[in-house]
Structure 1
């Protein structure tokens, strides 16, 4: 805008620079632009101390609120007061227009010139600074504060001159590249000591003294972020709240950050935005990158998780969820986008560039770190209608990513991706991560998403339930991972501590409680306390069976599920009874399993005999427990049913007939065993003969055909068993003949070191000795 006196004004609504026509050139030293006032109780930051020979261009990069502007202002004031500068230019560099306007104002004040427009004025200023220009020897410092977009400085970087320095503050990490005479300084949050010193000083200035422990706790809660500490201290001073009360309000789910910082008019140190909105500009700019909205949604999914480390695998899986949320999904025949892990990497790298999170892909277990105050601001910015959904998805993604392999994780994403959209995971690398990482993320979910994970338990150790009032698989996964990591006692302690709270909230017979008790029992057994484990399994079975009482009025489907759970518990009980050497106990459990199967058949409407495998296992344990005659009765019936169903030469019957022969022999009926085993061997040999002939025909007509053969190891086992029973029945010479033939065939077909050869040789030597003894007796 130009006036009649040749003056003009440029800028945005929030910053307008007005230039008069002609005026006198500036005298040295000269300052252009207003340097921000020193922050109340400004803290010296040793990490930013300039070296003996500072670079001509320093770039201070860091997240919102770390104090970059104050540090730059302090450096500018220090140099100005020390007489080291002839020219100080302070530029609020939020846009290219603002930079142009500041440069035009600088040349107008320095030379008294009348630039036609900001672009011309900026070029005149840069020309004045370059070699050969009038300002070539002027000692100057140009501060570009709050650079948002590197493109805004395209063609506008001050020239590199020995007498001139440039200082830039920015969120953008892609601006902060070493080289070209530039020194990059990363500005972190306060250290613990700096945060404590700042809070102590700023509250003391208001006549407040708070307990050191409370100040340290407040600093930790706010992540030592200078902006957050300044606004919290101003709120304390303005309201008279104690530090303890403020901490209590911070932990109150009903309180928002906006309620715990001053109104915009009361913000300290010339701050323009209250804490909840401090990241708005950065997030809006990052979220505008295609595909629009992805950056914000990924940050929303990271918000309920641990601030000190989220595995990249969790947020890689989140991309599939985000794909489902997009309303502009491409058609099925469109060119596919990049793989989810690649797109996740790109989005995380984008958020990292904008200092909205820290992303280190080399650290697989704690790849992503987000400041806790930013996480809270993001959570509070999500509409209530979506908050529970996002937290639930974050919990499920964390559980999926904690699984052992990428393929397994991919198969478990069905709750996110419908069947038609599923594809094999592009990588086969393991996704499992340490239990401490998993635990910290579960605790964060429990604390940050109470609608999904209801917190309960001792401080620092939170436990959670899904919205369906059931222990979330993720919570169990924490203990499972501890056990998998070789820390069984830590896993046991975790589950034991969790049990009382879970049982109190959900009831002692709830399915989640049973799952917990099962893990406790297993870990006790694995630690060697078999008695305690067996006792616990029996109690769990009794508790579950009690729910079948008529007063509970369960539906048939509920009864079936309950008995299936009992069946699983019985199998585990049988395993540990076997480990304890209680074979009669194992046999009793298998009888109970048969009863469970009968119950399931009756309730579910199944007809026909019980499962063959279950009955065979029951018979086997009955025999091993000392009741060989009882095992014979069960096996005899099984053989009859299988022969009727499948025929004598079906491989499915062979093992059952072998075990039938074994227990006949063990029951004292060696001759009956010889008959059963002889018939079995003949059937196996006939089947083998037919397969060999068929293979020969196939090979002659098709040279690429693969010959098949009945499992020869099964035939070897039958021959060995028959030889043993032959000898028991009083025919040691028959046993020797069978074993000699068996050894000859094994030597022909097996490797010389095969363990079956040693077994056969040992049996042959035994029956040869028995045969010689019988000949000696007959000679007498």
Structure 2
């Protein structure tokens, strides 16, 4: 649109640029566009002090709020005041239209000529900057602030000229993809010293003084992010809260960031967005570009986990499932679900937008997210959705850590020979460090304690009323530490967890018993057998007390409880054997036999008796010094196995062999000879001539024959 004085207005309805008619060319030095005012208590940062001569085009990259614009503005003001510039152009580069408009305006002010349209004006301005274009003797700096999309600068990059410099600020890490000679500078958050120095200065400016310790804690809480510290300091100044009181509010998961920073009208340093909204545009743009539009989902899941490192293996399966985030990841992926490669692609996309850091080469800590970004993302999710995300992140972490939390404490582990147990543990090791697992579990506990630690009134047993329990993932952390060869770290972890769990769920809750069992096992493995044995006996007594009528357990609940007591008794027997208390082991197996009879009676179990358990109990009875009792037990077993399996069954052979042995040990050497002779005849009929059992039986028979004649001989088996 042209006016009668030949002025020009261009743009959209929401953005109109006006160019006056013919005017006098600018005098030097000249500034186009407004450089943002310096932030209160602005601190120079060493990140821009690069060694050597800086490149003529530099790109400051970092997440929103790290201070890129303030660093660029400081550099522009410093160069201007030092007389190093003839032309300074400050461009808001949030869109291509804004860039074109700013370039056209610069041309109009410099030359006094009206551009026909912004595109033509921008081309003429860039031509003016090139050799022979009129500006070759002009020392210039062009700042492109807040570049959102590198494509917006296609064909609009200022030329590489000895007299000119270009400075770009952007979230986008891929902004340097065009051309050579562009230097990318990653702008981090404040260092700890810079953060404390900044807070001290801002508070002092408002007449406040705080000790350094709470200031350091506040800086850590906000991850040293400049924009967060600026808004926090403004909030402290307006409310009069002490730093310690503010920290307590900040750490309260029930409080929202929006309630702990100033309202939009009270934001410091000309900021336009309160802290929770700073990353909204970046998330929206990344989500629009992501495979299946799931960048937001992936970021929301990462926001539940540890800010200092998440294995990509945890997040990758999120793309193999639809939106059932709260479901356990144990089944097959849904038909048509995205492949794992989409997760890597989306993580790389979020990395390009500076919403997280993604390093696929770092197996343990592939993904890092700034804690304030995490909190802002979490708080932007509605309540029900937040629960689903926490449950989904928990399921993903559980699946990625793979091994069962109870495997190291199950009876299957005790069946592994001692010399093979170390290899058995190594074969179950995590794909990533136990410390990484621990930090991620601790993050989940902070955000959703009821999910992992149980909730509600203390209960006697898990699953019999409210169902509250300690999540398997919490136990897995200590197991992983132990598997990693760090038993003391595992012991410290479980010991620290025990009081909180007992207080939350009840002293005799199943989860508490699991913790106590792990602590006892670790103590035993460290050599403190006496303490471990005492603790196992206490746990057994505590569990048996629950069987008393006052607790009113159903028969099925009683059977389950007795089964748990039996498992504890197996473990007690193992450590009693290690301690050399053979009579104690024998007594424990008598109790286990009583447990088995109880379960059979209550549960209505049918079928053959548990021969293996009874034979083990008989064996320990003999090893504890009661050979006569072992003979009685073995005699019954032999009679029952004859009826059940027949005389030629391998199980019957083994029981008859041990029966003969204990007959001899009880003083009846002739009886032992009779039993072993009958056994050898049956084995000769059934077994091949070179079978090792034949040799063992012959050797034992020879031994007891010699003993029956009053002569000793080397014992066979």
CA distance in 1, matches of 2:428, 2:122: 54
Deviates more, 1:233-242 or 1:372-381: 233-242
User: Are 1:389 and 2:388 matched, yes or no?
Assistant: yes
CA distance in 1, matches of 2:4, 2:697: 116
- Contact 1:597/1:610 (CA < 8 Å) preserved in 2? no
Corresponding residue number in structure 2 for 1:36: 36
SS in 1 for 2:35: coil
Deviates more, 1:169-178 or 1:153-162: 169-178
CA distance in 2, matches of 1:182, 1:527: 59
SS in 2 for 1:91: strand
Structure 1, unaligned runs of 5 or more? 409-427, 457-465, 690-709, 736-761, 765-780
User: Are 1:287 and 2:266 matched, yes or no?
Assistant: no
CA distance in 2, matches of 1:69, 1:711: 87
Call closer, same or farther: CA 1:147–1:131 in 2, change over 3 Å.
same
Call closer, same or farther: CA 1:320–1:665 in 2, change over 3 Å.
farther
Corresponding residue number in structure 1 for 2:379: 380
- Contact 2:656/2:679 (CA < 8 Å) preserved in 1? yes
- Contact 1:257/1:276 (CA < 8 Å) preserved in 2? yes
CA distance in 2, matches of 1:656, 1:249: 70
- Contact 1:300/1:378 (CA < 8 Å) preserved in 2? yes
CA distance in 2, matches of 1:176, 1:599: 75
Structure 2, unaligned runs of 5 or more? 327-331, 408-426, 456-464
CA distance in 1, matches of 2:21, 2:317: 61
Corresponding residue number in structure 2 for 1:63: 63
Pairwise CA distance, 1:584:
1.2
Corresponding residue number in structure 2 for 1:492: 491
After superposition, give the CA deviation of every residue in 1:405-452 in whole Å (9 maximum; x if it has no partner): 99x9xxxxxxxxxxxxxxxxxxx9963433433333333222222443
RMSD of aligned C-alpha atoms? 3.0
Pairwise CA distance, 1:276:
0.3
Corresponding residue number in structure 1 for 2:412: none
- Contact 1:267/1:274 (CA < 8 Å) preserved in 2? yes
Corresponding residue number in structure 1 for 2:123: 123
Corresponding residue number in structure 2 for 1:606: 605
- Contact 2:494/2:515 (CA < 8 Å) preserved in 1? yes
Corresponding residue number in structure 2 for 1:578: 577
Mapping of 1:661-672 within 5 angstroms?
661-672=660-671
Corresponding residue number in structure 1 for 2:84: 84
After superposition, give the CA deviation of every residue in 1:595-628 in whole Å (9 maximum; x if it has no partner): 1111111111112443111111111111111122
Deviates more, 1:113-122 or 1:198-207: 113-122
CA distance in 2, matches of 1:172, 1:107: 28
After superposition, give the CA deviation of every residue in 1:672-714 in whole Å (9 maximum; x if it has no partner): 333333343344443345xxxxxxxxxxxxxxxxxxxx99333
Normalized against structure 1, the TM-score is what?
0.82
- Relative contact order higher in (CA < 8 Å, ≥ 6 apart): 2
CA distance in 1, matches of 2:171, 2:522: 50
Mapping of 1:551-700 within 5 angstroms?
551-689=550-688
CA distance in 1, matches of 2:80, 2:453: 57
- Contact 1:405/1:432 (CA < 8 Å) preserved in 2? no
- Contact 2:325/2:392 (CA < 8 Å) preserved in 1? no
Pairwise CA distance, 1:488:
2.5
CA distance in 2, matches of 1:323, 1:258: 28
Pairwise CA distance, 1:522:
1.4
Corresponding residue number in structure 1 for 2:414: none
Pairwise CA distance, 1:37:
1.1
Call closer, same or farther: CA 1:608–1:82 in 2, change over 3 Å.
same
CA distance in 1, matches of 2:454, 2:248: 16
Normalized against structure 2, the TM-score is what?
0.88
Corresponding residue number in structure 2 for 1:462: none
- Contact 1:101/1:118 (CA < 8 Å) preserved in 2? yes
Corresponding residue number in structure 1 for 2:206: 206
After superposition, give the CA deviation of every residue in 1:524-581 in whole Å (9 maximum; x if it has no partner): 2222222222121111111111111112111222111111100100000111111111
SS in 2 for 1:269: helix
Call closer, same or farther: CA 1:72–1:13 in 2, change over 3 Å.
farther
Corresponding residue number in structure 2 for 1:697: none
Corresponding residue number in structure 1 for 2:707: 728
Call closer, same or farther: CA 1:186–1:197 in 2, change over 3 Å.
same
Pairwise CA distance, 1:211:
2.2
- Contact 1:309/1:369 (CA < 8 Å) preserved in 2? yes
* Alignment equivalent of 1:717, drawn from 696, 700, 713: 696
After superposition, give the CA deviation of every residue in 1:168-203 in whole Å (9 maximum; x if it has no partner): 111111224697111111111111111111111111
Deviates more, 1:542-551 or 1:490-499: 490-499
Deviates more, 1:627-636 or 1:609-618: 627-636
CA distance in 1, matches of 2:169, 2:352: 14
Pairwise CA distance, 1:136:
3.1
CA distance in 1, matches of 2:631, 2:333: 62
After superposition, give the CA deviation of every residue in 1:431-484 in whole Å (9 maximum; x if it has no partner): 34334333333332222224435699xxxxxxxxx9943222232223323333
Mapping of 1:458-469 within 5 angstroms?
468-469=467-468
User: Are 1:53 and 2:32 matched, yes or no?
Assistant: no
Q: State the aligned residue count.
A: 682
Deviates more, 1:307-316 or 1:67-76: 307-316
Deviates more, 1:622-631 or 1:386-395: 386-395
CA distance in 2, matches of 1:721, 1:431: 48
Corresponding residue number in structure 1 for 2:266: 266
Corresponding residue number in structure 2 for 1:9: 9
Pairwise CA distance, 1:217:
1.7
Call closer, same or farther: CA 1:185–1:332 in 2, change over 3 Å.
closer
Corresponding residue number in structure 2 for 1:420: none
- Contact 2:57/2:181 (CA < 8 Å) preserved in 1? yes
Call closer, same or farther: CA 1:629–1:477 in 2, change over 3 Å.
same
Corresponding residue number in structure 1 for 2:369: 370
SS in 2 for 1:452: helix
SS in 2 for 1:470: coil
CA distance in 2, matches of 1:712, 1:13: 97
Mapping of 1:99-178 within 5 angstroms?
99-176=99-176
Corresponding residue number in structure 1 for 2:441: 442
CA distance in 1, matches of 2:320, 2:563: 34
Pairwise CA distance, 1:121:
2.0
Deviates more, 1:27-36 or 1:221-230: 27-36
Deviates more, 1:172-181 or 1:195-204: 172-181
- Contact 1:670/1:725 (CA < 8 Å) preserved in 2? yes
Call closer, same or farther: CA 1:405–1:577 in 2, change over 3 Å.
closer
Corresponding residue number in structure 2 for 1:704: none
CA distance in 1, matches of 2:335, 2:596: 52
Pairwise CA distance, 1:316:
2.8
- Contact 2:325/2:388 (CA < 8 Å) preserved in 1? no
Corresponding residue number in structure 1 for 2:461: none
Call closer, same or farther: CA 1:467–1:392 in 2, change over 3 Å.
farther
Call closer, same or farther: CA 1:520–1:718 in 2, change over 3 Å.
same
- Contact 2:40/2:269 (CA < 8 Å) preserved in 1? yes
- Contact 1:545/1:566 (CA < 8 Å) preserved in 2? yes
Call closer, same or farther: CA 1:664–1:153 in 2, change over 3 Å.
same
Call closer, same or farther: CA 1:2–1:718 in 2, change over 3 Å.
farther
CA distance in 1, matches of 2:325, 2:590: 52
- Contact 2:454/2:471 (CA < 8 Å) preserved in 1? no
Pairwise CA distance, 1:229:
0.8
Corresponding residue number in structure 1 for 2:525: 526
CA distance in 1, matches of 2:62, 2:534: 58
Corresponding residue number in structure 2 for 1:189: 189
Pairwise CA distance, 1:647:
2.6
CA distance in 1, matches of 2:511, 2:385: 27
Deviates more, 1:515-524 or 1:388-397: 388-397
Deviates more, 1:221-230 or 1:710-719: 710-719
CA distance in 2, matches of 1:712, 1:172: 75
CA distance in 2, matches of 1:444, 1:94: 35
